[in-house]
Amino acid sequence: MIFQSPTRGKMTLEETFQEIIAYIKEQPGEQYKLIIGTDSQAHYGEEVNFVTAIIIHRVGKGGRYFYRSEKHHFLQTLRQRIFYETSLSLDVAGRFSSLLSKNGFSQLNVEIHMDVGIRGDTRELIREMVGMVAGSGYDARIKPDSYGASKVADKYTK
């Protein structure tokens, strides 16, 4: 699993994890959130670009982010795309949570940011997606509070 850092280039999941831990260790007394969000964009009716972002947010003082992109054949329905976006975020969260636990950082708050909200076509999917995330043991955020998906990941779907 390869991620892209805007400043460091391509990084493995382990390297991304080490970069995040180093960022936390710079100012260990601060509060942090680990945010994972996925967004997608259909291109020409043939394929969909899914981008998953990992953000380490030093609350009130900025943060750093990493992202990965993958293309898939066109998914027919919005429901399929949102479900797959959420699944990608949960997969990354699970892998990261394992690394956090093994390295003494299991107390780090992990949020899953979803590209669903009370306005638009995705409102009918909120309960199901939030249930999926909460059932997996993570905090769920929807628009307008889901900037990990709707801002950071969205930036790289085009």
- Using one digit for the tens of pLDDT, what is the confidence trace for 16-36? 999 999 999 999 999 999 999
pTM: 0.94
Q: Percent of the chain having pLDDT more than 90?
A: 88
For residue range 31-49, list pLDDT tens digits in order: 999 999 999 998 876 789 9
Please work out, in degrees rounded to the nearest 5, the angle formed at the alpha carbon of residue 130 by the alpha carbons of 128 and 136: 105
Quote the tokens at residue 146.
């889901």
What pLDDT, on a 0 to 100 scale, did the predictor assign at position 109? 86
How many contiguous H segments (helices) and E segments (strands) does the chain have? Answer: 5, 7
Supply the pLDDT for residue 34. Answer: 97
Domain ranges of the chain: 2-155
**Dihedral sign of CA atoms 136, 138, 143, 146 in order:** negative
> Rounded to an integer, what distance in angstroms lies between the CA atom of residue 87 and that of residue 135?
12
